[in-house]
Chain A
């Protein structure tokens, strides 16, 4: 097989897992991130301080170290995870920390009166969050969330170090076997860039959709 076809084949094998882990981590990270931001915004200072510390730890340690610690250190505390699960978990935690800060900014940007009006009308906190605050902030936090999602695509490459057979793992394998490092790395770069462009395009469409739904304008 030529280097080109081997590289293409490696991309085809690695891409689904890269996209899969990325989407799963973004979804988990968004969910946990929203919950963390809500807890910090509405939960009083003890909860806020505890979660703030956690967020600081996650943001303060390089992702490659976190992935290593979880995968190779996990078994010492009874967490014996497969590479894929460890990768998904590590990336989700990492994503949640950053997503939570974006949502927190979103909460803070909404005038307190919008929440007070809801409270006086009898809405519960969870109803206020889901029906008022999150839709209200959606449009303004979307660019920051999309930005993070794009960064996370590229962070998945680090998972190759804990032997997750994703894009970087499969493609750099071809490089090592054939010594065609430049070609394989170029293919890798192109693949990630393509994913990023797709994401950016999807985010723009989503932004228009949210604008239509929340502002009544395109």
Chain B
């Protein structure tokens, strides 16, 4: 049995009377992409921040390849919801700064590498723009390039698309999806369930500072036996399923359980919530799925959920 790449043991964080992390165990193997889902305040972001070493723990420990990482030692890179680009520097300078100051690269070499990184996220042409002159999606891609440039062993994504509109979300998720294909080990906190279901190899559902469900991503979404997870997913599905309906009066609400009946159907009909989640067996060739439409601008804009 090999030791996991990342091992978080009994992570606890308490601030005053609030238990933010209540004994979280999580181990991640090299190359795994783990999606962290759960309601707001469940501890997803806190878990990432604890793993990154940004917030002090009141118990437990984090090991990456057997040793405790410290912020800035090059082990862990992080991408934030608010991008956190430095506004006075251009996109290229944002990527190059740490290469020059930390890696001690000569300016020309750092600039060259920064351009290569920006090219990787499709932003080479915008290297001389400042963050304020970029869209949110572009800013987040610069932030990803900035993180990639330092070649971290593990990348933590803290709701990378939560402040982006659906189109900008797509361009950022495509970049993350591409990274997953290169075998990068990643932890992704996201409310994009379809994305987590299709990209993550594993999903963990958190609530009140605990991991309630942890398993292969598709199983976590499809089986969803844990009652809290069912409730969480059903509200999400209802929102997604009826969101594209242009009519002011939505289709009759079948209730959470009916939604789950759909979710659990092994081969759901085209346009169902099942395919909305983008789970492969449910998406017939040519059929609509949330993920397909995200990748293809020509996909139908207003599919009706036939629940």
**Interface residue total, chain A, C-beta cutoff 8 A:** 22
Is the CB–CB distance between A122 and B82 below 8 Å? no
Looking at chain B's contact residues, is the secondary structure mostly helix, strand, loop, or mixed? loop
**CB of B97 closer than 8 Å to a CB of A:** yes
- Stretch in B29-37, B86-94, B298-306 touching the partner: B86-94
**A197→B142 CA distance, assembly (Å):** 43
**A119→B54 CA distance, assembly (Å):** 9
Is the CB–CB distance between A120 and B101 below 8 Å? no
User: In residues 60-85 of chain B, which contact A (Cβ within 8 Å)?
Assistant: 71-74, 76-78, 80, 82, 84-85
Q: How many inter-chain contacts with C-beta < 8 Å in the A-B complex?
A: 74
Residues of B within 8 A of A124 (CB): 101
- Stretch in A55-63, A109-117, A143-151 touching the partner: A109-117
The answer, among B71, B73, B88, B132, for a CB contact under 8 Å with A135, is B88
Is the CB–CB distance between A216 and B90 below 8 Å? yes
Residues of A within 8 A of B85 (CB): 117
**CB of B164 closer than 8 Å to a CB of A:** no
Is the CB–CB distance between A216 and B133 below 8 Å? yes
Is the CB–CB distance between A117 and B80 below 8 Å? yes
Is the CB–CB distance between B150 and A121 below 8 Å? yes
Is the CB–CB distance between B90 and A123 below 8 Å? no
Given contacts A122-B73, A122-B150, A215-B130, A113 and B98 within 8 Å (CB-CB): no
Is the CB–CB distance between B150 and A216 below 8 Å? no
**CB of A163 closer than 8 Å to a CB of B:** no
Interface centre among B82, B97, B101, B130 (most CB of A within 10 A): B101
**CB of B258 closer than 8 Å to a CB of A:** no
**A120→B54 CA distance, assembly (Å):** 8
**CB of A136 closer than 8 Å to a CB of B:** yes
Is the CB–CB distance between A123 and B101 below 8 Å? yes
User: In residues 197-218 of chain A, which contact B (Cβ within 8 Å)?
Assistant: 213-216
Residues of A within 8 A of B13 (CB): none
Is the CB–CB distance between A114 and B90 below 8 Å? no
**A135→B97 CA distance, assembly (Å):** 13
Given contacts A120-B76, A120-B77, A121-B102, A214 and B71 within 8 Å (CB-CB): no
Q: Which residue of A lies closest to B93 (CB)?
A: A131
Q: Which residue of A lies closest to B129 (CB)?
A: A216
The answer, among B72, B87, B88, B130, for a CB contact under 8 Å with A120, is B72
**CB of A82 closer than 8 Å to a CB of B:** no
Residues of A within 8 A of B150 (CB): 121-122
Report the minimal beta-carbon distance from B154 to chain A, rounded to whole angstroms: 11
Is the CB–CB distance between B72 and A132 below 8 Å? no
**A131→B99 CA distance, assembly (Å):** 13
Is the CB–CB distance between A120 and B71 below 8 Å? yes
Given contacts A131-B101, A216-B130, A122 and B80 within 8 Å (CB-CB): no
**CB of B141 closer than 8 Å to a CB of A:** no
Please name 11 pairs of A and B residues whose Cβ atoms are closer than 8 Å in the assembled complex, sorted by A: A114-B86, A116-B54, A116-B78, A116-B84, A120-B71, A121-B77, A122-B150, A132-B88, A214-B88, A216-B90, A216-B129
What are the nearest 6 A-B pairs in CB distance? A214-B88, A122-B102, A113-B84, A121-B98, A122-B72, A117-B84
Given contacts A118-B98, A216-B129, 11 further A-B contacts (CB under 8 A): A117-B143, A120-B72, A120-B76, A121-B97, A122-B102, A123-B101, A131-B97, A131-B101, A132-B88, A136-B86, A138-B88
